[in-house]
Amino acid sequence: MIRKALTIAGSDSGGGAGIEADLKTFSAFGVHGLVAITSVTAQNTQEVRAIYDISPEVVVKQIEAVVEDIGVDAAKTGMLSNSEIIKAVAKTVKKYNFPLVVDPVMIAKSGAPLLREDAMETLITEIIPHATLVTPNRPEAEKLSGFQIKNVDDAKRAAKTIVEELGARAAIVKGGHLGLSEAVDILYVNGEFREYRAPFVEGCTHGTGCSFSAAITANLAKGKSLEEAVETAKKFITMGIYYGARIGHGHCPVNQNAWIEIPAEKWRVYDTLNRALKELVSIEDLHKYVPEVGMNFVYALPKLYARGREDVAGVKGRIVKFGNTIKPVGWIEFGASDHLARAILTFMEVFPEVRSVLNIKYNEELISKAQKLGFKVSLYNRTEEPEEIKAKEGGTIPWGVRTAIERLRDKPDLIYHLGDWGKEAMILIFGETPKAVIEKLNKLLE
């Protein structure tokens, strides 16, 4: 059964906040999104250029149309620009008994007011009492509670005030603006406080309020408890900020897709590498090219999500010589490779589309053959590695890959080095996919 969530909010033409953010969030949780647009804004990551408020009658008609035919499992409000819209929305939602999350949108990240000064009181008296949950950030909580919030205790007092004095069933005061190393959100529900903590991540924040409240709404629509919905939404928003969509010239928006794209890409990467590994194992005579330290074969997540070793899949325990064949020691796992993970992440800094690499033993004839075949071949000389890089654990491969790319001034298919004291000479074969790496390898061994 598909669940349905309704957003009663403004449209952001930049697609970062408002109903656009809400719908993307609903989709990320597999919930069907419904909309009642309250205002149309001409907006981008830098500014709000115009606001056109929809008539209260049309806002109401949108809500009634979807409730009466499709049904609503949970709803949220976002930008409710003026008193007339607020009153009309309050009167309408009162008729139905779906959970209502109220994001008290007041000011855009760019600084533009999205709630008329004279409508603040109406928001407090008409909408807040119908809220299952109110989700203010610090400035919004200050306006609602009427006092300054400087620390977690103040945030608790504000959450309690919003519930006990303004009449909401629950309130969560978001700590993203509290200036701590952790983003601490304080939920007040059923007379008790709960804290939700996440590391304060640098990233993209346009649309955080909308996406967080939409994530709670989607989870309520799916039948989760308020506490579970908040916990999931906190993880969702932390991920969305960290992997933010770096677009525009102002405040870049949250990336709601990260929530579903990362697990989906992880599966795709795992499956693709697994198939290629089976092909690799069946290549005749490959055992002759297995280095003493072993071989590995890796595939990284797409550039946007490839931040570190954990984002690169490789063979646990490497691939070793086994009689006249080769054998993977363990399974494919994310984080299983150290050296090749560093090599591919460095390569991707320059050529993000190249996400796979395999290492084989150095062989002079293979290098000449690669050159004859028209492969782009480059090298680095470990004896030229600067002392300060040598002294740093894990610095050699990134330095080597960068040096080889700079030397070639092009995208290498192969990078090799001739070794050093106690270091084996090696060839690295790069490709956009594991299949492309195998194709290159097969041509070399033909």
Ligand X SMILES: Cc1ncc(COP(=O)(O)OP(=O)(O)O)c(N)n1
Work out whether the CA dihedral 399, 400, 401, 407 comes out positive or negative. positive
Residue 252 falls in the annotated catalytic set: no
Cβ 47 to ligand X shortest distance, Å:
10
53: enclosing H helix or E strand:
strand 48-53
Can residue 41 be called a binding residue for ligand TZP (CB under 6 A)? no
Work out whether the CA dihedral 240, 243, 247, 249 comes out positive or negative. positive
Sole residue written with tokens 């330095």: 399
According to DSSP, residue 124 is labeled I
DSSP string for 108-169: -TTS-B-S-GGGHHHIIIIIGGG-SEE---HHHHHHHHSS---SHHHHHHHHHHHHHTT--S
Can residue 277 be called a binding residue for ligand TZP (CB under 6 A)? no
Q: Which does 80 bind (CB under 5 to 8 A by kind): ligand TZP, ligand X, none?
A: none
Residue 217's CB is within 10 A of a number of other CB atoms, namely 34
Whether the CB-CB separation of 373 and 439 falls below 8 Å is answered with no
Can residue 10 be called a binding residue for ligand X (CB under 6 A)? yes
In this chain, which of 145, 219, 359, 378 binds ligand TZP, going by CB under 6 A?
359
Residue 207 falls in the annotated catalytic set: yes
Site string for ligand TZP, 390-429 (x = CB under 6 A): ------------------------------------x---
Q: Which does 78 bind (CB under 5 to 8 A by kind): ligand X, ligand TZP, none?
A: ligand X
Q: Which does 38 bind (CB under 5 to 8 A by kind): ligand TZP, ligand X, none?
A: none
Structure tokens of 400? 């080597």
Residue 208 falls in the annotated catalytic set: yes
Class of residue 5 by CB neighbours under 10 A (exposed 0-12, middle 13-18, buried 19+): buried
Size of the chain in residues? 446
Question: Could you give the CA distance from residue 425 to residue 334 in angstroms, rounded to a whole number?
Answer: 26
CA-nearest of 231, 189, 10 to 103 is 10
In this chain, which of 279, 338, 420, 439 binds ligand TZP, going by CB under 6 A?
338
Whether the CB-CB separation of 102 and 168 falls below 8 Å is answered with yes
Residue 250 falls in the annotated catalytic set: no
- Per DSSP, the three-state class of 102 is strand
Whether the CB-CB separation of 352 and 303 falls below 8 Å is answered with yes
Can residue 18 be called a binding residue for ligand X (CB under 6 A)? yes
Q: Which does 51 bind (CB under 5 to 8 A by kind): ligand X, ligand TZP, none?
A: none
Can residue 240 be called a binding residue for ligand X (CB under 6 A)? no
Active-site pick, 161, 210, 232, 252:
210
Cβ 175 to ligand X shortest distance, Å:
13
Sole residue written with tokens 């959450």: 159
Q: Which does 206 bind (CB under 5 to 8 A by kind): ligand TZP, ligand X, none?
A: ligand X
Can residue 208 be called a binding residue for ligand X (CB under 6 A)? yes
Nearer to ligand X by C-beta: 28 or 428? 28
Nearer to ligand TZP by C-beta: 37 or 293? 293
Angle at alpha carbon of residue 30, lines to 271 and 9, rounded to 5°: 135
Can residue 296 be called a binding residue for ligand TZP (CB under 6 A)? yes
Cα dihedral value 432, 438, 443, 446, nearest 10: 180
Nearer to ligand TZP by C-beta: 23 or 295? 295
Site string for ligand X, 86-125 (x = CB under 6 A): -------------------x--xx----x-----------
Catalytic residue numbers, as ranges: 174, 205, 207-210
Residues that bind ligand X (CB under 6 A): 9-12, 17-18, 41, 43, 78-79, 105, 108-109, 114, 137, 206-210
